[in-house]
Amino acid sequence: MPSQKLTVVVTRRLPDVVETRMKELFNVDLRDPDTAMSRDELAAAMRRADVLVPTITDQIDSALLAQAGDKLKLIANYGAGVDHIDVASARSRGVLVSNTPGVVTDDTADMVLALILAVTRRIPEGLAMMQDGQWAGWSPMALLGGRLSGRRLGILGMGRIGQAVARRARAFGMQIHYHNRRRLRPEVEGELEATWWESLDQMVARMDILSVNCPHTPSTFHLMNARRLKLMKPSAVIVNTSRGEVIDENALTRMLRAGEIAGAGLDVFERGPEVNPRLRELPNVALLPHMGSATLEGRVEMGEKVIINIKTFADGHRPPDQVLPGML
């Protein structure tokens, strides 16, 4: 790359400390106000940038990449997931893609446990009662939830976040089970006291709580479809902090309304902010606005990784977090 500063276009507002450092290092075009770019704005940004810094709200497909021209050389994604980027098309056009893996592991795992507790202990119902001024005092049978200790937790996807969830759940006395593309090494499995299930169907049918922690890929789209959701026990709870597309949201909503699944804790949704309105009406769900990784510390660390990826690329080396087609 030439010695002059790279032109870096950032599609959303980032923490001040991250933006300040970017301005010191690059010729940076920051986003203000903090709204998602339209498709036309994205196309224009890609034509003027050496490096684009998008987020999950930016859908970068092959048709958009075809409008980028020859200037764009790196898409330094602000986030770990890259299912919103056509990595193969980018690579075929000579555009590298990087991400920020491992940063939000603990933050997301914390939120998994928060959602499990919220649903099993009926926290949303209690909050609503207090906020509506409906609490008449303590009662022995009011808002009875369930104890976590001794419950079977099935983890769908045992990567960094899945393993962090397992460690936290063990502290609550839960039994750890998991389904993964590849079985963990014996020493890791032993440390987590985790039981591997080769069959997802068999695991799902026996769990008290199911935590979805796998990425969204063509093979995981609606992995938890209507047929598989029906395998769950009526007393079971499902939690998703990964990607909404992994669960058939309409099927889940129908089953929750019919009492065929006891509850759900969802931080992500199949169609982004367009949440099924029937799902919002249910008292046995805890719904969050995709805030599993929303800590200041995590957001700053993500920005630092983006900067390292860009700086390494500017120095003529491969970004340390380069994503290759098919690796996620």
Q: Look at residue 323 and tell me if it is in a domain.
A: no
Total domains, the chain: 2
CA angle 95, 101, 102 (to 5 degrees): 170
82 and 188 fall within a common domain:
no
244 and 309 fall within a common domain:
no
pLDDT tens-digit map of 201-216 = 999 999 999 999 998 8
Name the nearest CA neighbour of 90 among 116, 72, 114: 72
Q: In the numeric block, which tokens belong to residue 154?
A: 């099935």
Domain containing 38 equals 7-103+295-314
170 and 185 fall within a common domain:
yes
Residues 6+ apart with CB under 8 A from 242: 157, 161, 212, 213, 214, 215, 216, 268
28 and 54 fall within a common domain:
yes
CA angle 221, 285, 207 (to 5 degrees): 65
Helix 105-120 and helix 160-171: axis angle, to 10°?
50
126 and 173 fall within a common domain:
yes
132 and 267 fall within a common domain:
yes
pLDDT at 2: 45
Q: Look at residue 190 and tell me if it is in a domain.
A: yes
Q: Which residues of 289-323 are buried (b: 16+ CB within 10 A; e: fewer)?
A: ebebbebeebbbbbbbbbbbbbbbbbeeeebebbb
CATH at 119: 3.40.50.720
pLDDT tens-digit map of 174-193 = 999 999 999 999 999 999 99
143 and 235 fall within a common domain:
yes
pLDDT at 99: 97
224 and 307 fall within a common domain:
no
88 and 127 fall within a common domain:
no
Name residue, tokens 């860009």.
310
97 and 127 fall within a common domain:
no
Q: Look at residue 118 and tell me if it is in a domain.
A: yes
CB-based contact 124:283 (threshold 8 Å): yes
Q: Look at residue 18 and tell me if it is in a domain.
A: yes
231 and 281 fall within a common domain:
yes
Q: Look at residue 327 and tell me if it is in a domain.
A: no
Q: What does pTM read for this prediction?
A: 0.90
Please tell me what DSSP assigns to residue 60: B
Helices and strands, number each (H, E), in the chain: 13, 12
pLDDT at 1: 43
155 and 273 fall within a common domain:
yes
Overall average pLDDT of the 7-16 stretch: 97
Please tell me what DSSP assigns to residue 245: G
Q: Look at residue 2 and tell me if it is in a domain.
A: no
Q: Look at residue 82 and tell me if it is in a domain.
A: yes
Residue 327 pLDDT greater than 80, yes or no: no
CA distance 73 to 95: 5
pLDDT tens-digit map of 93-107 = 999 999 999 999 999
Least confident of 148-152, 158-162, 270-274: 270-274
Amino acid at 327: M
CA distance 91 to 40: 22
Amino acid at 168: R
